[in-house]
């Protein structure tokens, strides 16, 4: 006759370092979602401003960025920038497309930061916030691993 201990099977506990706890994954997902929405707001606001002219470009003649911004707007180049903002801003609001939107937006955010750092220093604070939000939005380890694929042996 077997004892109860012999009939039960031992199931080892999962390695705590192998996967995040459900609560941690849920928190990370919420933080990324908030970052996506917060990043989408200035992008879509910029597109709305381009269409409706709520805020004028900065005069900022003491900085080359002000003149460049006006030149881009007057020449039609800014339309392409705004189309990118509108597309990625919309993608960031749709849960299924958030990661792709954050990924597409990342080089744009880097360009915004570089532009403000070199050509319009008064805007560097907002540019760094946009870049930080973008980095949080794209910080999805499983999707980044899937994007990069399995390492070859």
- What's the pLDDT tens digit per position in 33-53? 999 999 999 999 999 988 888
Domain annotation covers residue 10: no
Position 15 scores a pLDDT of 42
Domain annotation covers residue 129: yes
Domain annotation covers residue 22: no
| Lowest-confidence segment of 79-83, 106-110, 119-123, 147-151 by average pLDDT | 147-151
Q: What is this structure's pTM?
A: 0.77
Q: Which domain holds residue 107?
A: 27-53+61-148
Count of domains in the chain? 1
Report yes or no: 92 and 37 within 8 Å, Cβ to Cβ: yes
Question: What gap in Å lies between CA 137 and CA 63, rounded to an integer?
Answer: 31
Instruction: Tell the residue number behind the tokens 């008064």, with chain if given.
Output: 122
């Amino acid at each position: 006759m077997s004892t109860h201990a012999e009939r039960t099977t031992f199931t080892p506990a999962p390695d705590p370092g192998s996967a995040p706890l459900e609560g941690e994954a849920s928190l990370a997902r919420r933080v990324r979602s908030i970052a996506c929405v917060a990043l989408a707001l200035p992008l879509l606001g910029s597109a709305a401003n381009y269409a409706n002219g709520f805020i004028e470009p900065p005069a900022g003649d003491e900085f080359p960025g002000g003149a460049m911004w006006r030149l881009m707007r007057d020449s039609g180049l800014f339309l392409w920038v705004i189309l990118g903002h509108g597309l990625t801003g919309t993608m960031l609001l749709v849960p299924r497309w958030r990661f792709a939107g954050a990924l597409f937006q990342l080089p744009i955010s880097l360009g915004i930061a570089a532009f403000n750092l070199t050509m319009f220093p008064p805007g560097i604070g907002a540019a760094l916030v946009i870049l930080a939000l973008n980095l949080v939005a794209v910080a999805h380890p499983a999707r980044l691993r899937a994007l990069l694929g399995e390492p070859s042996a």
